[in-house]
Amino acid sequence: MFTGLMRTMILYILIIAGVRLMGKRQVGELEPSELVLSLIIADLASVPMQDYGIPLLTGIVPILTLMSLTMILSVLTMKSVRFRAVLCGRPSIIVQNGTLDQKEMAKTRLTLDELLEELRCKGYTDLSQIKYAILETNGQLSVLPFANQKPPTARDLKVSVEEGGLPRVVVSDGRLLEGNLKLLGHDRPWLDRQLTQRGCRDVSQVFLLLVDETDAVYFAKKES
């Protein structure tokens, strides 16, 4: 029992560290090599966790090997376009100027139902609205509508809008984040004034206080 507990902890920490080292992309968007890695690692880790007759190292060594190989492959894919194309494939244009490319669909083994479902998920029900639909190497479908189907932007409408800036959390659940307050160029008296204006005496009464670069404040009082 103790062996199982310790092995699970070691393998779990090892995998978390590995995934963290591989970067954020690993978690959200899996390339083929990364998907394979995730599947194999899960299996490799579970075997020595359950079978105490196998040394822990027989699980750790393949995991470390896989992580090293993945790291090498990810650096090589960054450095070489050709290598990236071989390992990850190339994006496929499925819809061009509102017309389906049936050969490309067959090549990528994308069924009509799957394509229409993806398009509906992205808010498109009419293929004639779509200039390009591209199946990316991570399996996601990117949809680019015709220019006349895109919602107008402020620039298109020739409207002047103010930049809001990045809001930073200054008070979170009654705790003051002094680092963020300093980054915004404010001090404690400024914060106290803001709190007084909103009927609070102390940060402990504040649930959330956000301040952006233009000094716009979002305030939420803590419910008693």
Which residues sit at the interface with another protein, rule CB under 8 A? Answer: 21, 52-58, 61, 64-65, 67-69, 71-72, 74-76, 78-79
Dist. CA 175–CA 167, nearest whole Å: 17
Q: How far is the CB of 12 from another protein (least distance, A)?
A: 19
Nearest distance, CB of residue 61 and another protein, angstroms: 6
Identify each DSSP E strand in 28-148 by its residue range.
Answer: 92-96, 99-100, 130-135, 141-145
Query: CA 113 to CA 119: how far, in whole Å?
Result: 10
In the Cβ-directed half-sphere of 54, how many Cα atoms lie within 13 Å?
A: 15
Which is nearer to another protein, 63 or 209 (by Cβ)? Answer: 63
Q: Which one, 76 or 93, has the nearer CB to another protein? A: 76
Q: What does the DSSP assignment read for 8-24? A: HHHHHHHHHHHHHHT-T
Shortest distance in whole angstroms from residue 146 CB to another protein: 38
The DSSP code for 212 is: -
Nearer to another protein, 81 or 157 (CB): 81
In the complex with another protein, which residue's Cβ is closer, 33 or 142?
33
- CB of residue 48 vs another protein: minimum separation in angstroms? 11
